[in-house]
Amino acid sequence: MVLVCASVVGRANNPLYFRSLLPGGDAEILKFQYIVHCALDAVEEKVTSPQRRSGDAVESYLGLLYPTEDYRVYGYISNTRIKLMLIVDDHVARDDEMRQVFKKFHQAYVDAASNPFYTANTPLTSKRFDSTVTAKLTPRT
């Protein structure tokens, strides 16, 4: 599994953070933008019609959102309706592994959002968050 793109999407489905994790991946950044943007439709579907029984715990991990020819988009939604989305390569990823990755991603976001100088639902420009995401989600197998 190779993580190629990480994204944080706000409550109004506006991008808060977008980063290509591929070395020299800026060329495909627009394509990733389109893919993550498209995957928001799947997020809405999963959020509005969750396939779980009554009494089940609310699952933050949304699973596979949108498969394309080359990539797959996985999603995670926080209690504050912040969406964390990751694009992985075409290899099938295990859900347990993706959950762990999303938990790290979420923790990094929580740390960044806890900054008293950060205003909620605004673009994340923290270099620390950027370095954390780069360090924890860099392509690895």
Partner 1 sequence: MTSPQRIIEPGLTAFSAAEIHVAVVPIGLVPEDLLHQYLGLITKHRQVDLGNVRSFYKESQKSPFKFFPWKTGSMHFRFLTEEAASRPQPLAGLHVHRKTLAIIGILHCPAATEFKRAYVRFEQVCRAYPDAQAIRCFAFEPSDMLIAANKPDMPNLVLFPPVRAGGLEQLEGHAEVVMHDFAASLLGELEKWMLTASPAMVSLNTFADSSDKFLVPSTIAEEVSKRLYNDEEMIRKRRYGRCQKAMGDTALLAGSPADASDHYNTAVELCRLTNDLVWTSAALEGLAHAKVLESCITSGALRDRTSFDVATTPPPSPNPSPRNPRIALLQAENAPSSEASRTSSGFTGRPFWYALRQSNVERDVRSLFAEARQAVRRKGAIPLLVEQDLKFARFLAGLHGNKARKEVGELMNAVVETGAALPLIEDKLVTLMEAAQVMGLVGSARKRVLLLWQAIEFSRVSERPNISTLQIARKALEPPDDPLEGNEDEAELFRRKTPVAPGVPRHWAAVRCGCIEAVLNTAILAAQHSDVWDASALLLREHCSELLPQRQESLVNTLAAAAHQMGIDDRQRTGPGPPPLLIFRRCLPLPEPLRPQQLQILPTSTARGPQEGPFIYSAFGDRQQQQEAAAEGVRQQEARWVAGEMGSVEIEISNPTTMQMKVDRLALEAEHVGDPSIAPKDQALGALQGTPSWRSHPVALWLPPETPPTKVILKGAALRKGLYVMTGCSITSLGATWRQKWSLPATTLGQKLQASGAVPMPSVQVTESGGLAEARVTVVQSLPLLEPRLHAPPPTLIPPAQSDSSSSAIVTPEGTPKSSATAAAPAAKGDGAKPLPMAALKGQMLQWAMLLSNAGSIPVTSADVSLSVAASAPAAAAAAALQLRRPMAQGVQVSVGNRLLAQALPLLPAHSGAPSRKTQVPLLLYSPQVVSQEEEVAWLELRLEYSGPRVSAASGIDAYPSSPTSPASPGTPSSGGLLGRRSTVPIQLRLLPSLQVKKVTLAEHHEALQPGPNQQQSQPPERLSHPDSRQTDPGSQQSNPEEGRHHQTWGTSDPLWNGRLPQQQTQDTRQTRDEYSEDHTGSQSSRTTPAMRHRCVVELQVWNETSAALDVWMGPQVSPAAATPVWQDALAYGARLPMTRGHPSTPQHACRRTIPAQQQAIVAAFAEPLSRQQAGGSLAENETEAGTLLLDPAAVQAALTPRALSILLPPTISISFQAVIPNAGESAPLASYELLQGTGEDRPEAAGRSRSQSTAMWGIRCPVGEAVEVQTLVRNESGTSLEVCLSLACHSVDAAPDWERGGDSSSVLWCGSLTGITMPLGSFSNLHNRATICFASPGLYQLYAYEVKMSHGGTHLLPSGCHVQQGSIYFLAEH
Residue 81 interacts with partner 1 (CB under 8 A): yes or no: yes
Return all residues near 82 (Cβ < 8 A) that are at least 6 apart: 8, 9, 10, 11, 16, 109
Residue 49 interacts with partner 1 (CB under 8 A): yes or no: yes
- Least CB distance to partner 1 at residue 14 (A): 4
Q: Is 9 exposed, middle or buried (0-12, 13-18, 19+ CB in 10 A)?
A: buried
* Angle at 24 (CA atoms; ends 19, 28), nearest 5 degrees: 65
**Binding span for partner 1 by CB under 8 A among 19-27, 34-42, 100-108, 129-137:** 34-42
CA distance 77 to 8: 10
**Which listed residue (61, 104, 121, 136) binds partner 1 by CB under 8 A?**
121
Number of residues binding to partner 1, judged by CB under 8 A: 25
List interacting residues with partner 1 (CB under 8 A). Answer: 10-15, 18, 29-30, 33-35, 37-41, 44-45, 49, 81, 119-122
